[in-house]
Amino acid sequence: MGKLQGKVAVITGATSGMALATARLFVEEGAYVFITGRRRAQLDQAVKAIGKNVTGVQGDASKLADLDRLYETVKKEKGRVDILFASAGGGELGPIGSITEEQFDRTFGLNVRGTLFTVQKALPLFNDGGSIILNGSIAGIKGFPSASVYSASKAAVRSFARTWTVDLKARNIRVNVLSPGTIDTPILEGFPKEAVDFFVSLIPRGKMGRPEEIATAALFLASSDSSFVTGIEMFVDGGAAQI
């Protein structure tokens, strides 16, 4: 029997990379998974790649109407949520002095506002004793150049886990942050090679992480293996932000 046998999970932004690997692992471990993505073609490909026990709901986590449609689908098909991985996120680089209002709004709209309402709108369906995982980043505790807005948004996500752990303690709903380092995902294709080489040079292990290494950490936080773990930030970064 899998570690998530019979559980219902929601994973946002799961059309590629870490979140897709997590969705596949959750299904392998017995869960039924609802995944979201903004682009229909990639969402359909992700559903096909997962293969079974999955529903894809097109939507943008920064748009409240899309979140409403997601949870209406979950309610209709399964009636509950046991696990939520609020994974949808992104950001843009820009040094102080050149940051625009639009850049700020896009990053905070998805990473902070989107995360907040992804969680809040799930709560009426959430089973007591469930697990919420928030997508953080080592950028939330590091001072990378030109990353001030993105880093601040991830620091806010870390703060959410602390306060929501207290807010939800009566329901025994655990809230934790999973903070990756540099992971080999398609998002890196948009970065200059010098930037990628710089981030890899910071990793004591000497190479990037794999999406599957994030998925196994998410499985730990989602399952009863972590029943006494809440309010933490788990770094899965090859040591990059730890030394």
Give the catalytic positions in this structure: 150
Closest CA to 210 of 191, 238, 233: 238
For 216, the token pair is 């196994």
CB of 142 closer than 8 Å to CB of 135 = no
